[in-house]
């Protein structure tokens, strides 16, 4: 394994669920952990210090977007991602595999890499495993990801297998790119909803001895029962002494199920995207603050919440901001939602330690039931 400054420690385990810490050169955080998404080197509508105050210690950005704009050379010249965006905590960059999949038929994928046109100016772009890793090295995130081929759902097993094999091939090539000790390169497991493909992918990547592993290609429309089965099964084939990251997953119930299955890291746009649409998360259920009933409600979003928003602003005021089109609404709701997700992770970690995870699961399921699409 390439030498890295990233250190993962499993401090407690019961069943598959475990509590740990991850240390990077930019700090230490407890796991299971939720990472807010700052795709383009910003968590939308909030300052970096706002994010830190919610209890968030690591955020995610995306190499695909930063490669296209402003360009990785600009980020590197600024001193790397942390200085560029003035973020004091740890960072992770996704490689762009999911974004390439979202381009649909406009992208051409071969064993060499992916060819597509920029959504910004229409210019031709080629992304390979080597280019993706070099871009992330220049960006300077603490944790970086191998370029993978993610497939949509539904998809045939033949197509899923081909993408899985290609992802392993790309991971082997990614390993050939020099990565500084300050950065840790993770492999990404693919295989869609087939447990045998996921097993093959996980075991193949494990032999490459990465500092950590991600489970990708889920939460793209597959049934929840398949989703949970894949996560539980895949975790069993990944090394116990390395962190496990479930990519793009953030429904409250998913965070609990994933944590109890042995996942250590999660990320999702759910808290920030919902905030921009006027929706708040609470432990009593979701709130649509645009609703007229909140016009005369002078209580906080959530009585038990300790965030800046709940300490100083009322539901009536937040609704006023939303109806008036004031951007402060997005800022205040984002702060609250990010704090909710960090409070949820705190409760998950506490429940694992105290043996009350089933009670927590039931309470979250009651107010945030999942619905099949």
Is 111 noted as a catalytic residue in this protein? no
> Is residue 260 within 8 Å of 357, Cβ to Cβ?
yes
Q: Tell me the per-residue pLDDT of 282-341, one tens digit each, with 9 for 90 and over.
A: 999 999 999 999 999 999 999 999 999 999 999 999 999 999 999 999 999 999 999 999
- Is the same domain home to 81 and 127? yes
Q: CB-based burial of residue 156 (10 Å sphere; 0-12 exposed, 13-18 middle, 19+ buried)?
A: exposed
- Is the same domain home to 112 and 198? yes
Task: Give the CATH number of the domain where residue 25 resides.
Answer: 3.20.20.105
> Is residue 90 within 8 Å of 29, Cβ to Cβ?
yes
Is 306 noted as a catalytic residue in this protein? no
Of the three residues 239, 268, 297, the one that is the final residue of a domain is: 268
Q: Tell me the per-residue pLDDT of 104-144, one tens digit each, with 9 for 90 and over.
A: 888 999 999 999 999 899 999 999 999 999 999 999 999 99
Cβ partners under 8 Å of residue 232, min gap 6: 16, 261
Average pLDDT over residues 187-198: 98
- Is the same domain home to 239 and 340? no
Q: Tell me the per-residue pLDDT of 35-52, one tens digit each, with 9 for 90 and over.
A: 999 999 999 999 999 999
- Is the same domain home to 264 and 281? no
Return the percentage of the chain with pLDDT > 70, whole number.
99
Domain region containing 307: 275-367
Return the percentage of the chain with pLDDT > 90, whole number.
95
Of the three residues 268, 303, 332, the one that is the final residue of a domain is: 268
Res 105: pLDDT: 80
The alpha carbon of residue 304 and the mean position of all alpha carbons in its chain are separated, in whole angstroms, by: 26
Q: CB-based burial of residue 240 (10 Å sphere; 0-12 exposed, 13-18 middle, 19+ buried)?
A: exposed
1 falls within a domain = no
Annotated catalytic residue within 50, 94, 254, 264: 94
Of the three residues 238, 268, 298, the one that is the final residue of a domain is: 268
- Is the same domain home to 224 and 121? yes
Q: Considering only the C-alpha atoms of the chain, give the largest distance between any 2 of them, rounded to a whole number of Å.
A: 61
49 falls within a domain = yes
Q: Listing from the earlier edge strand, what are the strands of the sheet with 27-31?
A: 7-14, 17-24, 27-31
- Is the same domain home to 221 and 320? no
Q: What is the C-alpha separation between 78 and 87, in angstroms, rounded? A: 13
Answer whether residue 257 shows pLDDT above 90. Answer: yes
- Is the same domain home to 57 and 200? yes
Q: How many domains does the chain have?
A: 2
- Is the same domain home to 216 and 323? no
What DSSP designation does 110 have?
A: -
Which value, to the nearest 10 degrees, does the dihedral of the CA atoms of residues 261, 266, 272, 274 take? Answer: -20
Annotated catalytic residue within 50, 142, 264, 267: 267
List the end-to-end C-alpha distance of the chain, in Å, as a whole number.
41
- Is the same domain home to 100 and 235? yes
Closest to 149 (Cα-Cα) out of 168, 163, 132, 159 = 163
- Is the same domain home to 248 and 332? no
Q: What is the C-alpha separation between 246 and 174, in angstroms, rounded? A: 20
Answer whether residue 373 shows pLDDT above 50. Answer: no
């Amino acid at each position: 394994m390439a030498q890295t400054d990233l250190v993962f420690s499993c401090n407690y385990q019961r069943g598959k669920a475990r509590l740990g810490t991850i240390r990077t050169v930019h700090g230490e955080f407890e796991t299971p952990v939720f990472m807010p998404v700052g795709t383009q080197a910003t968590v939308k509508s909030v300052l970096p210090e706002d994010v830190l105050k919610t209890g968030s210690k690591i955020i995610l950005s995306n190499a695909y977007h930063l490669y296209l704009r402003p360009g990785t050379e600009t980020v590197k010249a600024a001193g790397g991602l942390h200085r560029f965006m003035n973020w004091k905590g740890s960072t992770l960059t996704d490689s762009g595999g999911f974004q390439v999949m979202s381009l649909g038929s406009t992208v051409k994928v071969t064993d060499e890499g992916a060819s597509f046109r920029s959504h910004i100016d229409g210019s031709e772009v080629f992304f390979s495993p080597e280019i993706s890793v070099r871009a992330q090295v220049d960006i300077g995130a603490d944790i970086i990801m191998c370029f993978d081929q993610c497939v949509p759902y539904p998809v045939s097993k033949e197509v899923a297998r081909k993408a899985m094999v290609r992802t392993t091939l790309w991971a082997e090539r990614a390993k050939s790119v020099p990565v500084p000790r300050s950065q840790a390169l993770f492999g990404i497991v693919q295989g869609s909803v087939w447990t045998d493909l996921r097993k093959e992918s996980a075991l193949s990547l494990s032999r490459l001895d990465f500092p950590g592993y991600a489970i990708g290609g889920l939460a793209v429309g597959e049934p929840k029962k398949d989703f949970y089965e894949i996560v539980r099964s895949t975790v069993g084939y990944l090394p116990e002494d390395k962190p496990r990251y479930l990519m793009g997953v953030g429904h409250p119930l998913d965070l609990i199920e994933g944590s109890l299955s042995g996942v250590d890291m999660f990320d999702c746009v759910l808290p920030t995207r919902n905030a921009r649409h006027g929706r708040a998360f609470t432990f009593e259920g979701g709130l649509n603050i645009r609703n007229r009933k909140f016009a005369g409600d002078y209580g906080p979003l959530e009585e038990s919440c300790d965030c800046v928003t709940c300490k100083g602003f009322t539901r009536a005021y937040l609704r006023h901001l939303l109806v008036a089109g004031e951007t402060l609404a997005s800022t205040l709701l984002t702060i609250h939602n990010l704090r909710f997700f960090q409070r949820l992770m705190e409760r998950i970690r506490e429940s694992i330690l105290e043996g009350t995870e089933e009670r927590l699961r039931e309470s979250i399921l009651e107010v945030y039931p999942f619905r099949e699409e």
